[in-house]
């Protein structure tokens, strides 16, 4: 383990998909061991792009990426880092490509060079940890949206990453599944970056929030808990709000 606690260090990163618009505009960002950071921002503000730059899926047009204290420039640098950083994709259908749940969860451990029995073991344990025991032979495309979300998380956690990047983990999940995922994520002892539009979720899972807009990142310390007055139909009936 590095003595330096700086895990992700992005300096002066610029990136664009087309010439006329910078998606990331000289952006700098740090993640220290144990940090749990939330990223909020409008659609198209470059949040997903930022995660993909960290994983080396996209290469910045300028700026420097340092992961675990080492500069990452080439595919092989990122390959090494990907063993220690897990990325949960926005759409579970992108993440789950094997026909069965067990095969999919074991895919990462197998790639890490584990022998099949050990990979199977890891996969089963990870599934059990997420309360998904008995899912191993289910067909991935026949899972419900919520189940897909949980299994996707299992596929990433099975690799035992030190850092977790999550791209809208609660998107499209119902209340119960969201609560379940929130509990799981809260209980993880990992450094994390969360992208979400769900402020309730972020306030539960993160220590700090950054806002992204126009390819820049800003830290807003003035995040204050506050009560809401709100209105909705049947509001007269006694009821509770979960979040």
Q: Which residues bind another protein (CB under 8 A)?
A: 52, 55, 57, 79, 82-83, 86-87, 89, 91, 93-95, 97-100, 102-103, 106-108, 110-112, 116, 119-120, 140-141, 155-156, 159
Whichever of 39 and 96 has its CB closer to another protein, that residue is 96
Assign 207 to helix, strand or coil. Answer: coil
Whichever of 100 and 214 has its CB closer to another protein, that residue is 100
- Least Å distance, CB 27 to another protein, is 20
- Least Å distance, CB 55 to another protein, is 6
Angle at 185 between CA 112 and CA 70, to 5 degrees: 45
Identify the CA nearest to 179 among candidates 242, 132, 88, 87.
242
Whichever of 83 and 129 has its CB closer to another protein, that residue is 83
Q: What is the CA radius of gyration of the chain?
A: 19
Whichever of 43 and 218 has its CB closer to another protein, that residue is 43
- Least Å distance, CB 8 to another protein, is 15
| Inter-helix orientation angle 101-111/116-129, to 10° | 120
CA atoms of 136 and 111, how far apart (whole Å): 19
CA atoms of 103 and 137, how far apart (whole Å): 9
Q: Which two tokens stand for residue 226?
A: 């506050």
Whichever of 99 and 172 has its CB closer to another protein, that residue is 99
Asked whether 13 and 24 are in contact (CB, 8 A), the reply is yes
Q: Specify the length of the chain in residues.
A: 243
Assign 210 to helix, strand or coil. Answer: strand
- Least Å distance, CB 164 to another protein, is 11
- Least Å distance, CB 112 to another protein, is 6
């Amino acid at each position: 383990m590095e003595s330096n606690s700086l895990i992700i260090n992005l300096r002066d990163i610029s990136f664009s998909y087309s010439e006329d618009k910078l998606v990331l505009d000289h952006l700098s960002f740090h993640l220290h061991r144990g940090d749990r950071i939330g990223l909020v921002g409008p659609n198209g503000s470059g949040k997903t792009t930022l995660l993909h730059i960290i994983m080396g899926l996209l290469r910045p047009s300028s700026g420097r990426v340092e992961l675990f204290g080492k500069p990452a420039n080439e595919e092989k640098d990122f390959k090494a880092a990907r063993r220690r950083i897990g990325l949960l994709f926005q759409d579970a259908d992108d993440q789950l490509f094997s026909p069965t749940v067990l095969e999919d969860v074991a895919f990462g451990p197998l790639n890490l060079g584990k022998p099949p029995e050990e990979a199977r073991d890891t996969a089963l344990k990870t599934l059990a940890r997420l309360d998904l025991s008995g899912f191993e032979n289910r067909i991935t495309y026949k899972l419900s949206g919520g189940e897909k979300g949980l299994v996707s998380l299992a596929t990433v956690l099975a690799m035992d990453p030190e850092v977790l990047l999550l791209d809208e983990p609660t998107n499209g999940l119902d209340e119960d599944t969201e609560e379940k995922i929130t509990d799981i994520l809260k209980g993880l002892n990992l450094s994390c970056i969360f992208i979400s539009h769900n402020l309730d979720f972020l306030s539960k899972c993160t220590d700090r929030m950054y806002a992204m807009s126009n390819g820049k990142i800003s830290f807003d310390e003035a995040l204050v808990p506050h009560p809401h007055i709100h209105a909705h139909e049947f509001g007269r009936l006694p009821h509770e709000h979960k979040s």
